[in-house]
Structure 1
Amino acid sequence: MGRICSPFVVIECSRQCGFSRLYNEPTEEQSREISDTKTCPACGAPVRRRLF
């Protein structure tokens, strides 16, 4: 029996300063926010995106 999961998107700081955001089934507005977030708002480092 398989598991059905919703898509999750995680944005986190590449310097691991503690910044992260988790989205479950992002809305259109959240999808724009995800694609617009290029740097960490806390320290200015690039962000990583993980999809699962």
Structure 2
Amino acid sequence: MKTKKIVLSESEMPRQWYNIMADMPTPMEPPLHPGTGQPVGPEDLAPI
């Protein structure tokens, strides 16, 4: 798969964002660890 890179000028950069989480009927499921299949904890994210 080819990687695409999109470059926006300063005038094209978004100035507003929408928080979709506020309008979701139920909370999203937590992200899963690819190796264990269990929910990711803070210790899993520490290397990032």
Superposition TM-score tier, normalisation by shorter sequence: under 0.3
Instruction: Compute the TM-score of the two structures, normalised by the length of structure 1.
Output: 0.22
Instruction: Compute the TM-score of the two structures, normalised by the length of structure 2.
Output: 0.22
Q: Which has the higher strand share?
A: 1
Q: Which has the higher helix share?
A: 2
**RCO higher in structure (CA 8 A, sep ≥6):** 1
